[in-house]
């Protein structure tokens, strides 16, 4: 009598049932759908965040001109240095000048030129006027008023300019004041160029009379 046959050899694995195969595939499909859904959700969140950041209103608007000026004011003040005092536009000038006039002109030789025939050297007359005006501080407040005559002796042949203060043309008697004013005007006139200046004669004497009016507070 023959022995009964074993249904499967011992070395063969047991076949998986059809139900088990479907269950494994459904689990894999479910896991894949979950991963795809999560990835899609993350993508939507990123897109929505980008759209929100792009379309949201910006609160940091550019500052107006007034705000920019007020913000830069402290910085400008820090680098502008100490305030510079400016003269009061309504304050009267401490000195009044007469028109410049030519006292004499001459050339080499014995011949003399009448004063009425002397030409005017406008650049020298203006230079003397400016020098006297810019040196007005040489008269202190202690001198309430007074006049000083300044005479510029200009020699084109020697290329020199001398400044003298004739005694007859001044009412200021303080020698310190006279010395300070003479020094200031001489220094200013020493830099006046004579080259290229139009003139008809070799030497001129030009006069300007300055009248000083100071406040009486200095005594």
> Over the stretch 179-200, which tens digit does the pLDDT of each residue have?
999 999 999 999 999 999 999 9
Do 46 and 153 lie in a common domain? no
Q: How confident is the model at residue 218 (pLDDT cuts 50, 70, 90)?
A: very low
Q: Are residues 44 and 110 in the same domain?
A: no
- Inside any domain, residue 83: no
Residue 142 in any domain: the answer is yes
Give domain status of residue 60, yes or no: no
Helix, strand, coil percent values for the chain (each to nearest 5): 45, 15, 40
Q: Is 37 among the domain residues? A: yes
203 shares a domain with 142: yes
Burial 153-191 (b: 16+ CB within 10 A, else e): ebebeeeebebebeeebbebeeeebbebbbebbbebbee
Please check whether residue 162 lies inside any domain of the structure: yes
12-26 burial code (b ≥16 CB/10 A, e <16): eeeeeeeeeeeeeee
Whether 70 is covered by a domain: the verdict is no
pLDDT given for residue 55 in this prediction: 65
Number of domains in the chain: 2
Residue 135 neighbours by CB distance under 10 Å: 21
pTM metric for this prediction? 0.57
Same domain membership, residue 46 and residue 136: no
pLDDT above 70 for 63: no
Same domain, 103 and 50: no
The H-or-E segment that residue 102 falls in is strand 101-106
36 and 104 belong to one structural domain: no
Residues spanned by the domain of 183? 95-218
Q: Is the pLDDT of residue 96 over 60?
A: yes
| Residue 180 domain-assigned (yes or no) | yes
Q: Are residues 105 and 204 in the same domain?
A: yes
Question: For residue 128, what are its two tokens?
Answer: 């003397």
Q: For 109-118, how does the pLDDT look when each residue is reduced to its tens digit (9 = 90+)? A: 888 899 999 9
Residues 115-158 have pLDDT tens digits of 999 999 999 999 999 999 999 999 998 887 899 999 999 999 99
Please work out, in degrees rounded to the nearest 5, the angle formed at the alpha carbon of residue 124 by the alpha carbons of 123 and 125: 95
Confidence band (pLDDT; 50, 70, 90) for 80? Answer: very low
Is 111 found in the same domain as 191?
yes
Residue 63 belongs to a domain: no
Q: Which of 33, 55, 77 is the last residue of a domain?
A: 55
Tokens of 106: 């001459």
């Amino acid at each position: 009598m023959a022995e009964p046959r074993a249904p499967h050899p011992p070395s063969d694995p047991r076949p998986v049932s059809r139900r088990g195969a479907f269950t494994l595939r459904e689990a894999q499909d479910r896991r894949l759908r979950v991963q795809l859904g999560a990835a899609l959700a993350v993508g939507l969140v990123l897109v929505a965040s980008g759209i929100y950041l792009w379309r949201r209103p910006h609160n940091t608007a550019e500052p107006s001109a007034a705000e920019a000026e007020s913000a830069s004011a402290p910085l400008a003040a820090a680098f502008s240095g100490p305030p510079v005092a400016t003269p009061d536009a309504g304050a009267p000038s401490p000195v009044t000048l007469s028109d410049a006039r030519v006292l004499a002109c001459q050339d080499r030789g014995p011949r003399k030129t009448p004063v009425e025939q002397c030409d005017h050297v406008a650049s020298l007359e203006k230079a003397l006027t400016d020098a006297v005006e810019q040196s007005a501080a040489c008269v202190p407040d202690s001198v309430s008023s007074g006049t000083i005559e300044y005479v510029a002796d200009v020699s084109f042949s020697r290329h020199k300019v001398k400044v003298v203060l004739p005694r007859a043309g001044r009412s200021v008697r303080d020698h310190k004041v006279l010395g300070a004013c003479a020094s200031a005007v001489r220094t200013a006139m020493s830099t006046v160029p004579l080259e290229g200046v139009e003139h008809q004669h070799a030497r001129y004497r030009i006069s300007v009379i300055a009248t000083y009016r100071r406040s009486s507070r200095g005594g």
